[in-house]
Amino acid sequence: MEAFIVALASVWADSGFSALTGGHVIMITVGLILLYMAIGKGFEPLLLSPIAFGCILANIPKNGFDAPGVMSVIMYGIHHEVFPPLIFLGVGAMTDFGPLLANPKTLLLGAAAQGGVFVALLGAMLLGFSVQEAAAIGIIGGADGPTSIFLCSKLGQTELLGPIAVAAYSYMSLVPIIQPPIMKLLTTKKERMIEMKALRQVSKTEKILFPIIVTIFVAWLVPSAAPLVGSLMLGNLLTESGVCERLAKTVQNELMNIVTIFLGVSVGATATAGTFLNTTRTTRIIGSIRRTFCIRFSRGRRKSAWFTFVEFVAWKWSSRRKEIGLLSRFF
């Protein structure tokens, strides 16, 4: 009987239940909520599902993630900037730059949207974050998860990687909810009914030269961005060249799917109770990110920031209360 009790005590000591804390329970609950959003509500399920499951796995005590094995390899990919360039490789292969080449003025719209980067950067610095920490948070204003992870690792802000990555990808998966009320608030019904005119036909030569020229110019201008931009443009070149069809399909499908799974699980695995439940810092990061996303969505407007603010106040008590009410949840 004594041996049986000792065996039970040993099983209990080796199990995760013996080390379970309230923080673990909270983070597992967060993972379950994200999983419900992905599966039950269909919010970016291909991305949010592995993130949520990684969050659940990471908060199981004594999970052995620190020991050599497949999880340590997956975590190496996010801590050492392996996955972001691979994701960009797939994104580039699936991107058609034809409309941009046909109407280069649209580049200004994309540039205006980056205003959210600087707003988040300054806001984070005002909240007490260092310049490096603020930069890691601010880059999320580009609504680009891989770039956020890449820069966070590049700046050595690994302790912020969990909150930044989870918050960024979670908000990106909620774009279908966040964006419509902002667009309705800042545009009229007539503007939303404008039909795009047919653009000129872009030649194959232009499409082939574009990724080559961009890679060389950007790599010269900002050498540290060469891994991301180079991967993006290489993927695009594989597709546009027309002679690498097999490689292009592999990058668009098999490679992209595998890396998405690994990236999602590793992002979720960074959301441990010890790092994510630093209430003050995490709340500030999430608050900065959600404001950044709202600002980013509004920056494609032709109106100035001041006019947008005046417009917002003028409509505060108008018939657009419903949209403003929805927006207030994210501010």
Specify the pTM.
0.72
pLDDT at 259 over 80: yes
Question: 153 in a domain, yes or no?
Answer: yes
Sign of CA dihedral 126, 228, 149, 142: positive
Q: What are the φ and ψ backbone dihedral angles of 234, each rounded to 5 degrees?
A: -65, -45
- Residue 3, in any domain of the structure: no
Residue 259's identity, in one-letter code, is V
Q: What is the largest CA-CA distance in the chain?
A: 85
Q: What one-letter code names the amino acid at 181?
A: P
**Residues 227 and 85: beta-carbon distance below 8 Å:** yes
For residues 236 and 208, give the distance between their C-alpha atoms in angstroms, rounded to a whole number. Answer: 9
How many Å apart are CA 62 and CA 18, to the nearest integer?
9
The predicted pLDDT at position 3 comes to 73
In a domain? residue 285: yes
Instruction: State the sign of the Cα–Cα–Cα–Cα dihedral 258, 149, 143, 248.
Output: negative
CA contacts within 13 A on the Cβ side of 178: 21
> Is 142 within a domain?
yes
Look at residue 11 and tell me if it is in a domain.
Answer: no
Contact (Cβ atoms closer than 8 angstroms) between residue 288 and residue 124: yes
Q: Which long-range contacts (CB under 8 A, 24 or more apart) does 29-34 make?
A: 30/55, 30/271, 31/55, 31/56, 31/59, 31/268, 31/271, 32/56, 34/170
**In-domain check, residue 14:** no
If you average pLDDT over every residue of the chain, what do you get? Answer: 76
| Per-residue DSSP letter, 105 | T
Range of the domain at 149: 20-186+200-328
More confident residue, 194 or 31: 31
Q: How far apart are CA 39 and CA 90, in angstroms?
A: 24
pLDDT tens digits along 71-101:
888 888 877 878 888 988 999 999 999 888 8
More reliable by pLDDT, 255 or 328: 255
**Number of domains into which the chain is organized:** 1
Domain-located, residue 264:
yes
pLDDT of 281 above 50: yes
Distances (CA, A) of 3 to 6, 8, 13, 231: 5, 9, 15, 60
Q: Residues 182, 298: contact at Cβ < 8 Å?
A: yes
In a domain, 195, yes or no: no
